[in-house]
A and B are shown apart, each in its own frame.
Chain A
Amino acid sequence: MTTSPSAIPADQPAQPAASDRPPVVAMTGITVTFPGVKALDGVDLRLFPGEVHALMGENGAGKSTLIKALTGVYSIDAGTIVVDGTERTFTGPAQAQLAGISTVYQEVNLCDNLSVAENVMLGHEVRRAGLVDFRATRRAAREHLKALNLDIDPASTLSSHSLAVQQLVAICRAMVVDARVVILDEPTSSLDVDEVERLFAVVRDLRSRGVAILFVSHFLEQVYAISDRMTVLRNGTLVGEYRTADLPRVELVQKMIGRSLEVLEQLEEAPKRVVAERGDVQPYVQAIGLGRKGSIEPFDLDVYPGEVVGLAGLLGSGRTELARLLYGADRSDVGELRVDGQPTKLRTPRSALARRIVYSSESRKTEGIIGDLTVRENIVLGLQAERGWLRRIPQRKADEVVAQYVEQLGIRPANPDAIAGNLSGGNQQKVLLARWLATQPKLLLLDEPTRGIDVGAKAEIQRLVAELAEQGMAVVFISAELEEVLRLSHRIAVLRDRRKIGELTNGDDVTTDDVVDLIASGGQDA
């Protein structure tokens, strides 16, 4: 299938180290079909002990499906799965786990109303005389959390933590089991640099102990930093297996998207950051001492039409909380909010929507996508909510809007009647964005809008945001990826410990280090 010299013939292992060991997992000729979609077509995957294997591909290429085929969530139509030399067919994740395959799925998949400790230790509680020893269980959980430097109370309920923390808890949970294969499907999509480093330390440790790790990520730097070998998928088919060291980044992207280098060059081109001519324009939204107890301390923030304000800060610094106050998702208890100069109380998202303020949540599974509804229904939901239930959006108008955004954001499959919950993670994110763009807001609050989105589509979305701002939309942009924030924002508000500690005006001389310094100094000398 591939003519690249760096492709490894299937019978020749990539590293000498691996050659004396057979693969722990060997999947061959895997085919999975869903009604109307061939998600995988004859795909091979080999995982070797003591190696980090990256699974690469665009949104919807079939990465998560391949993982679920391995762990028995989906049954396969063709192909074989060999684990430790014997052919296996798992009937479900529980059985796969018994066989030593521990998985963190793409969408955090824990029990929201249980405590952190219970989630980490579920099924592995410390027992004494047959009964669960809760104290010991909590202590064990704390040990595991410490390995990831996660300093949270194990007794707190899971849902009280941010998505990033939940993701780390899910990873912890996978580590509790003495696994020989650890699968991480986009574990870093909402993590900051520091947490990624922590995670990688744990992964390296596992690797040195002979565990095979499967790693999925759209961040190429991370893939190159951690992986020894990679398998590339495109449209449900296998492109090839390569040694990471042999495959330059440019070639990898080319293999993933199957297009020429031009696309790549466009990718590198930063979107234009046209500094808004402010004149005597008043801010569209003005927060004066706005705050909420236990959530975020009072802050001032102006967002002008045509301006992108980035929010930077570490995990738990209050970025999401700030955005939620501006959307009325949480109610403020002090301070004043002015929208278009008018003092306004936002009690519900609905009232924000009426003032053309929208918020795209970071956690698309629980707060974004309506899983059982179609792509069309999901996209027009915001518009429909704005119009009220009585005035249904005419079918033709809905089709028009949906067609426009499916095209513009490259939603795949491009079928408006597909059930949104069946889409790949990245494509669900695009559907969520489409919902909000379709309402043509005046203030767009984006919380991790590019989470889980592949390299090509990410550049596309960044360009779209820049373009919308240029046309006069006010945008608040939150991302764990500082580079992304810097590339798009005119101004950057920096948060730490649930407090806004400063603001930077972006310019060509501002670097990520400046932002990091500001965060570290706590705004003392800013």
Chain B
Amino acid sequence: MNLGAIARHRLFWPLVALVVLLVASALKSPAFLEVTVRDGHLFGGPVDILRRSSVLLLVALGMTLVIATRGIDLSVGAVMAIAGAVALSQIAASPDPGALSTVLLAMLTALAVALGIGVFNGFLVAVVGIQPIVATLIFMTAGRGIAMLITGGQITTVTSAPYKTIASGYWLGLPVAALIAALIFGATALLTRRTALGVLIESVGINPSASRLAGVRARTIIWTVYVICAAFACIAGFIKSSDIMAADSNNAGLFIELDAILAVVIGGTSLAGGKFSLTGTLVGSLVITTLTLSITILGIPVNAVSLFKALVVIAVCLLQSPVVQHRMRSRRRRAAPVPVEVPA
């Protein structure tokens, strides 16, 4: 592969952004890129990024599949809050919060609730035919209220060693949260690329009516992706609540749907649906997480944070856009055929 081809790869600019952010942070605080071993566990900036990006990655993976079908799921943040609320209040109410069985049972209950929400969202979109943005808005707004009801309007806190492991534990020297995210990432990749699910999702996203006429169960597939998305958001909710060992219905996963959508878009999956890239979403999640972390390291004033974030995201999206890519290329080599807009 020559340099030009590499520069044209759709993950080129996101990766550049990632490296630039890492290098800038390391320059500012040289210890940032250092990885040390303490008590057999890895510590340091990169490990921290992996651990922290697990929440976003989980949410973004589900979002990728939903977006590939031309949909969107705004309820993911609320699902995270509900998952934390259900799991923690059940643990808190049990006589033995430290038992593994208590924790597993609580997590299963929360997962069941999340799946129910996914089924509801999917039903509205796939069967009733409500626009995804409207359908999932219902739980986005109502979900946090439901979480409040579950926790009785308070921030439920618990002490439970097994539950704490999810976010803070280490296994084989690596953070458990990162391992969970990696496992889910691998499972999603297998599920979509080793079976025909991936290509059928893309087919439905590209041309729903042609897919239906081709005999694809378009409805079932759309329904399924919303359920998967809710399940992944639920797991993200476990990590989030385990991190602080509290169910904070108001703030858990607040605005994460926006970060997830950004991660998906930076990863090269179009909001118009169709072709999706899980690797792209992985890179996108890492970029956004690193961005959030480096903001503090670089000492950017708090009230400029969102502006800075927006600038980086805009820069990456611009550099990725076909128009800009073409402009840059044709400056090097005159006039290649551009499919500007193809009325065919």
Please list the residues of chain A having a beta carbon within 8 angstroms of any beta carbon in chain B.
32-34, 64, 68, 72-77, 91-93, 105-107, 109, 327, 329, 348-350, 352-353, 358-359, 361, 366-373, 377, 381-382, 384-393, 421, 425, 435
Contact = CB atoms under 8 A, between A and B. Distances in A.
A384 B343 contact: no
A353 B194 contact: no
A308 B196 CA distance: 34
Nearest to B221: A389
Interface in B201-220: 202-203, 206-207, 209-217
Contacts, number: 117
A91 B197 CA distance: 40
A366 to B, nearest CB: 6
Interface string B286-308: 00000000000000000000000
A92 B200 CA distance: 34
B344 A381 contact: no
B196 A392 contact: yes
Contact of A382 (B199, B215, B335, B342): B215
B340 interface: yes
A99 to B, nearest CB: 17
A397 to B, nearest CB: 12
Interface of B: 194-197, 199-200, 202-203, 206-207, 209-217, 221, 274-275, 335-344
Contacts of B206: 370-373
Contacts of A75: 335-338
Contacts of A68: 342, 344
24 contacts: A32-B337, A73-B342, A73-B343, A92-B340, A105-B344, A349-B213, A349-B215, A358-B215, A361-B213, A368-B210, A370-B211, A372-B206, A372-B274, A373-B203, A381-B211, A381-B216, A384-B199, A387-B196, A389-B195, A389-B197, A390-B195, A391-B195, A392-B196, A435-B214
B221 A366 contact: no
Contact of A384 (B196, B274, B335, B342): B196
B335 A353 contact: no
Nearest to B214: A381
A366 B212 CA distance: 11
B209 A350 contact: no
A365 B271 CA distance: 21
B318 to A, nearest CB: 20
Contact of A392 (B194, B207, B216): B194
Contacts of A387: 196
Q: Is the interface of B mostly helix, strand, loop or mixed?
A: loop
B204 to A, nearest CB: 9
A107 B202 contact: no
Contact of B207 (A91, A92, A348, A371): A371
A390 B210 CA distance: 20
A391 B176 CA distance: 33
A382 B337 contact: no
A366 B210 CA distance: 6
A72 to B, nearest CB: 8
B209 A367 contact: yes
Given A359-B213, A370-B207, A381-B203, A74 B339 contact: yes
B2 to A, nearest CB: 14
Contacts of A385: 200, 214-217
Contacts of A107: 343-344
Q: Which of A76, A359, A369, A384 has the most CB of B within 10 A?
A: A384
Given A349-B215, A368-B210, A385-B215, A74 B338 contact: yes
Given A349-B215, A350-B217, A353-B215, A373 B344 contact: no
B210 A369 contact: yes
Contacts of B336: 75, 77
Contacts of B275: 372
Nearest to A421: B344
Contacts of A386: 215
A352 B213 CA distance: 10
A425 to B, nearest CB: 8
Nearest to B219: A348
Contacts of B202: 370, 372-373
Contact of B213 (A76, A329, A421): A329
